[in-house]
Amino acid sequence: QSVLTQPPSVSAAPGQKVAISCSGSSSDIGNNPVSWYQQVPGTAPKLLIYDNTERPSGIPDRFSGSKSGTSATLGITGLQTGDEADYYCGTWDSSLSVVVFGGGTKMTVL
């Protein structure tokens, strides 16, 4: 059972936008930055967002991150079929001194 809570699945049509939530607590998201990863089945996770809102070079601005209190959200606009993947949030848990991840959200482009 994951420390961070994500919806199991989300879906939207091509060109539309979607939001994926990640809920935690004061010991993790509430006091530490959040990151987001995209994982196409059979491949390694790819960093999409770090420090709540920052995108590594090469990540399109269709991907955005936000955080409020003990929750974070990944937003994806202009959905493409290539965006179909599993998405994970992650952060540090200060009380346990561990990196924690969400259970993952399967994103389907209808």
Interface ranges with another protein (CB under 8 A): 2, 32-33, 35, 37, 43-47, 50-51, 56, 88, 90-92, 94, 96-104
29 within 8 A of 65, measured Cβ to Cβ? no
Looking at beta carbons only, is 5 or 77 nearer to another protein? Answer: 5
Looking at beta carbons only, is 63 or 92 nearer to another protein? Answer: 92
The least CB distance from residue 83 to another protein, in Å, is: 19
Question: Which class for 50: exposed (0-12), middle (13-18), buried (19 or more C-beta within 10 A)?
Answer: middle
The least CB distance from residue 11 to another protein, in Å, is: 19
